[in-house]
Structure 1
Amino acid sequence: MTTEELITALEHAWNAGDGEAWAANFAEDVDFVDVVGRIQRGRATIARESQKIFDTIYRGSTLKIRQLSSRPLGGGIDLVHTETVLSIPAGHLAGEQRGVQTQLIRDGRVVAFHNTIRGDIATFTGHDADLAARSPQEWDS
């Protein structure tokens, strides 16, 4: 499976609310860091935990995934960055959430996945204009 096919399969599985189909895109021994920083290990865990959110907080949600970049790392592994727009129809999370993901892909399956919510830098810095204007590398100076 190509990276483009994998991204399409992930998007379709999410939009179907199907935890097993979502997890089928991951290696059996995947390491998956979810949006709140929990480390989930293994395809079975991904299937179970994903189905929980498809049935509750993300019920009826739709996900759009766009590839930002891809480069080979050697050994048949590609480093892929994607961005997502998650539309949630109801509940306390209703609305749109944006995210960025880092994935390691080998043999058409995700072997490592890290999901991050994309937020507003002004809010993150407590509306500190000086800090918000700095690049992350300058934050501790």
Structure 2
Amino acid sequence: MITEEIITALERAWNAGDGEAWAANFAEDADFVDVVGRIQRGRATIARESQNIFDTVYRGSTLRIRQVSSRPLGGGFDLVHTATTLTIPTGPLAGEAQAVQSKLVHDGLIVAFHNTIRRDIAVFAGHDADLAARSPQEWNS
């Protein structure tokens, strides 16, 4: 599959609440770091854990995925960055959430996927104006 097909398939699977269809886009031995930092290893685990959230906290949610960038790394690998908007209709997480993802795609399947929720930098920096104004490379200085 090409990148656009993977993105479309992921979005369709999420919106259908189908963990198996979501995981079908991943290699059998893929690694998936979810939005709360859990490392899920393997397509079967990704399918099971995805179905769990589709049936609970993200029930009835809709996901929009936009490709931000894609570049070949050689050897059949592509690095793909996407941005998502997740709309959750009810429950403790109701509302809209923004996130970004990094995906390593090999021969049409995702072999690694890292999902990161987007937060306001001022909130993250504790409203420290100096820290919020720094670039990430300067945070340790």
Tell me the TM-score normalised to structure 1 length: 0.99
Per the alignment, residue 46 of structure 1 pairs with 46
Aligned residue for 2:90? Answer: 90
Give 2:135's aligned amino acid. Answer: S
1:102 aligns to what? 102
Q: Map of 1:15-26 to 2, 5 A cutoff?
A: 15-26=15-26
**Residue of structure 1 in register with 2:80 after alignment:** 80
**Residues 77-130 of structure 1: per-residue CA shift (max 9 Å, x gap):** 000000000000001100000000000001111000000001100000000001
SS at match of 1:80: strand
- The Cα RMSD (Å) is 0.5
Report % sequence identity: 81
Q: Counterparts of 1:73 and 1:12 in 2: how far apart (Å)?
A: 27
1:7-46 Cα shifts (integer Å, max 9, x gaps): 0000000000000000001000000000000000000000
Match of 2:29 in 1: 29
Once superposed, which parts of structure 1, at least 4 consecutive aligned residues long, lie more than 4 Å away?
none
Residue ranges of structure 1 left out of the alignment (5+ in a row): none
Q: The residue matched to 1:110 in structure 2 has which SS? A: strand
How many residues align? The count is 141
Match of residue 129 from structure 1:
129
